A and B are shown apart, each in its own frame.
Chain A
Amino acid sequence: DTEVTQTPKHLVMGMTNKKSLKCEQHMGHRAMYWYKQKAKKPPELMFVYSYEKLSINESVPSRFSPECPNSSLLNLHLHALQPEDSALYLCASSQVGLAAQETQYFGPGTRLLVL
């Protein structure tokens, strides 16, 4: 089973709202990722958690706040977003260890629209 689930599938929020995106995997992976993808562009890495600790933050604005409460869950808390933050947000997970094991498996994404 290589399934990563994400909720919600779609989200519309105002610039003053607070919302959260959720990601879950039950593959025993110990690395989880958030990506942002604009239309017709490649995914851009935002955050990486390894063993529930933040290991990479790609200089993402503080209005995006990640959280990894346990090895199966990954959240992305959103606050005071801008319209340019509208995008598809993808979650991925992978094993940690040898590079050969670190295939990232992606969820279906949350399509976010900021008004």
Chain B
Amino acid sequence: AQSVAQPEDQVNVAEGNPLTVKCTYSVSGNPYLFWYVQYPNRGLQFLLKYITGDNLVKGSYGFEAEFNKSQTSFHLKKPSALVSDSALYFCAVRLNTGFQKLVFGTGTRLLVSP
């Protein structure tokens, strides 16, 4: 089955430090991978996606993600965390079924302390 896994329920980082939120995938064929962020009581906001091409994808709010085919990973990164980055982060994969179906990971809560 095609899926993504987020191994960490929560990531804690101090403001100004780099952050990484991990995601691994299990997909047959070429993966289409996404990162979304959700603030409390809000919908999901699109951050970035990998379809093809450069393995380093740059997205909104200074976030970037590195696609690593050999490790089947798509980790989200930011060089310098902000307190306002504290939120729930979801990795997702588009299934290669011909339909527009996203499957989400379980989510990682990022807590940035002042």
Chain A bound to chain B? yes
Chain A positions within 8 Å of B, measured between CB atoms, are 2, 4, 6, 31, 33, 40-43, 45, 48, 50, 55-56, 88, 90, 92, 94, 96, 99-100, 102-109, 111
Residues in A neighbouring B107, C-beta threshold 8 A: 40-42
**A104-B51 in contact given A56-B101, A99-B94 (Cβ < 8 Å):** no
**A109-B100 in contact given A42-B107, A99-B94, A102-B94 (Cβ < 8 Å):** no
Report the bound CA distance from A40 to B34 in whole Å. Answer: 19
Q: Cβ of B32 and Cβ of A99 under 8 Å apart?
A: yes
Q: Cβ of B44 and Cβ of A90 under 8 Å apart?
A: yes
Report the bound CA distance from A41 to B88 in whole Å. Answer: 10
Residues in A neighbouring B2, C-beta threshold 8 A: none
Q: Cβ of A43 and Cβ of B104 under 8 Å apart?
A: yes
Residues in B neighbouring A109, C-beta threshold 8 A: 41-43
Please pick, from B51, B101, B106, the residue contacting A45 in the complex, using a CB distance under 8 A.
Answer: B101
Q: Cβ of A50 and Cβ of B43 under 8 Å apart?
A: no
Please pick, from B36, B101, B105, the residue contacting A48 in the complex, using a CB distance under 8 A.
Answer: B101
**Residues of B67-114 whose CB lies within 8 A of A:** 88, 90, 94, 99-102, 104-107
Please pick, from A4, A50, A104, the residue contacting B102 in the complex, using a CB distance under 8 A.
Answer: A104
Question: Does B49 interact with chain A (Cβ within 8 Å)?
Answer: yes
Q: How far is the CB of A39 from chain B (nearest CB, A)?
A: 10
Residues in B neighbouring A107, C-beta threshold 8 A: 43
Question: Does B45 interact with chain A (Cβ within 8 Å)?
Answer: yes
Report the bound CA distance from A108 to B38 in whole Å. Answer: 10
Q: Cβ of A106 and Cβ of B45 under 8 Å apart?
A: yes
Q: How far is the CB of A97 from chain B (nearest CB, A)?
A: 10
Q: Cβ of A90 and Cβ of B43 under 8 Å apart?
A: yes
Report the bound CA distance from A3 to B104 in whole Å. Answer: 21
Q: Cβ of B99 and Cβ of A56 under 8 Å apart?
A: yes
Q: Cβ of B49 and Cβ of A103 under 8 Å apart?
A: yes
Known: A40-B107, A104-B102, A106-B43. 6 other contacts (CB 8 A): A31-B100, A33-B100, A45-B102, A55-B99, A106-B44, A108-B43
**A104-B100 in contact given A41-B106, A42-B106, A99-B94 (Cβ < 8 Å):** yes
